[in-house]
Structure 1
């Protein structure tokens, strides 16, 4: 079994809003989690981006990042992911350049291609038009602002610069749940984060394609895989399995095209889903790590052996905030022991 004693651990937090809770409460819980995650030795704290979703409060990602960075001291803070299709690359570069100016060498810019919402909301965020730049073109423009001296008009008559942000070298990551981002990250020599917390069936293929296509760059000389997975840890296996039912309910509702606040745990999921739904949800979440400290360690060792991931990012949506904190504490302890 793989030795995981020194595997870096990180946090992916969507600021989950629980049933009966509020967005304000969730954002304050995010700050509390960040403070404690740093104390437990977590390397990064990334904020997911979602829009028009009643169960998640992390919509204005750079603003939440700024608050998280302000209450921590060493832990890297990033976007998981900043959804580039909604924003002008120059605007993203200015925002992350500002964050880098306030928190030097602590900011990560994770980028994603997904809309992070429904089609209608995506068009409210930014109306689409035919012939607009593709993701890879936007990425190249963004890279020019943060890792170079900016861009110019085609005739060279006007120059565009990210101030602040110009040549700040903010690390750029590609995040994905399929092979497109994996291949692009490899070809550009960027670190790659795979969304194992909801796309388990694509995981091994995407990681293989990333590594096969990797070309060294100024940013990275060899492939680096950060794997995000669902984690529900508790002092007993029975408790962990019950806590995980909140996560199962979320994905069950998503399979029915329903978004909702995070539901309290239940004793019996069979009362809520059909056999077909159970199989589909469990397959989608098959990389999930659920158990007590010993079980979590064993499952994590097996996952690292299978994927050869360089870093694990835990995505933990547990209804009770104190139980969620305890889950992250147990995970950190399992890696250290």
Structure 2
């Protein structure tokens, strides 16, 4: 499978221990500006609520911050958790973004709450909204943003907005919906890879062409912790490992400093959990990362990779994305013989 596929950035706007949301947003814009120069295709932010280490709860607002400080990179939500919102509100928000930054906005849609049930109730004031109604919500949103809405209520801005919709998923449900609707499919393999290959097979086999998309298009989440040496990269990765262990044990935290010997300090259950959730990862120096990226692309046939690098120090995070971009260019040169 070709290494010519685009690479993009998924930013969870991490709040590092000892830092705050203001610094997180400054770092987000700085990373987006660097990513634009390094040739990344798109820059996505994710909706999470009540998470001490994630600042992108007001996803559309942070997107406006990023789009306003860049000029060519696509900016998107990866994603908006639609059960938390009235589809009309999302149509208006993304219609506004598209009017401000035409031709640069993406809208990825997920059906998870992006929070716990208590936070979901606070967001919605009621839990009557049903995640199983997600397909109907997507259709309603799609109609609001169409050129000729069937509903009496108009989304202004929003009507006629040319914002590509994506379906996000970590199971076969999203794959089936994306295939049925003829939409691109983004799979959360960077933290929930267990059903990845089954979902991809299902999506590709059942895809129905639509006005937006003629053939299946798959973007896969992939963790990269790149540094100048394998040892340094393994150390950088321990911040993300701590975040997962803290989350799974009910103690979500800000992104912690790297901790030497962290993996060795864990019990077998925690190590098995990390091996599972972070199995779609590249950790190492440029040569190591390049080999692992090639293997992942060849195994999955991905049309695009969404790279995430949850690294404590901002300059080390920048370096990881820079190395990934350099590796990408090297792989493309090797493939073309140039």
Supply the distance in 1 between the matched residues of 2:17 and 2:49 (Cα, whole angstroms). Answer: 18
C-alpha distance after superposition, 1:80-126 (max 9, x if no partner): 10110111111100110010001111000000111101100000000
C-alpha distance after superposition, 1:58-88 (max 9, x if no partner): 0100000001001111100000101101111
Equivalent residue number for residue 294 of structure 1: 287
Equivalent residue number for residue 156 of structure 1: none
Using the size of structure 2 for normalisation, the TM-score is: 0.95
Question: Which secondary structure does the structure 2 equivalent of 1:313 belong to?
Answer: strand
Question: Which secondary structure does the structure 2 equivalent of 1:45 belong to?
Answer: strand
C-alpha distance after superposition, 1:165-220 (max 9, x if no partner): 10212100001111101110001000000001101111111111111110000000
Residues 151 and 161, structure 1, Cα contact 8 Å, conserved in 2: no
Q: Residues 101, 298 of structure 1: CA spacing in aligned structure 2 closer, same or farther, 3 A cutoff? A: same
Q: How many Å apart are 1:270 and its aligned residue?
A: 3.8
Structure 1 outlier segments of 4+, above 4 Å: 129-133
Where do 5+ consecutive residues of structure 2 fail to align? 331-338
Question: Which secondary structure does the structure 1 equivalent of 2:9 belong to?
Answer: strand
Equivalent residue number for residue 142 of structure 1: 141
Using the size of structure 1 for normalisation, the TM-score is: 0.95
Where do 5+ consecutive residues of structure 1 fail to align? 153-158
Instruction: Identify which of 250, 267, 273 aligns with 1:274.
Output: 267
Supply the distance in 2 between the matched residues of 1:162 and 1:142 (Cα, whole angstroms). Answer: 10
Q: How many Å apart are 1:129 and its aligned residue?
A: 5.0
Question: Which secondary structure does the structure 2 equivalent of 1:128 belong to?
Answer: coil
Q: How many Å apart are 1:127 and its aligned residue?
A: 2.5
Supply the distance in 1 between the matched residues of 2:65 and 2:222 (Cα, whole angstroms). Answer: 24
Instruction: Establish whether residue 108 from structure 1 lines up as the match of residue 106 from structure 2.
Output: yes
Instruction: Establish whether residue 307 from structure 1 lines up as the match of residue 300 from structure 2.
Output: yes
Residues 103 and 162, structure 2, Cα contact 8 Å, conserved in 1: no
Instruction: Identify which of 208, 211, 217 aligns with 2:201.
Output: 208
Supply the distance in 1 between the matched residues of 2:320 and 2:154 (Cα, whole angstroms). Answer: 43
User: How many pairs align?
Assistant: 329
Residues 41 and 74, structure 2, Cα contact 8 Å, conserved in 1: yes
Equivalent residue number for residue 261 of structure 1: 254
Q: How many Å apart are 1:253 and its aligned residue?
A: 1.2
Supply the distance in 1 between the matched residues of 2:5 and 2:138 (Cα, whole angstroms). Answer: 29
Residues 241 and 290, structure 1, Cα contact 8 Å, conserved in 2: yes
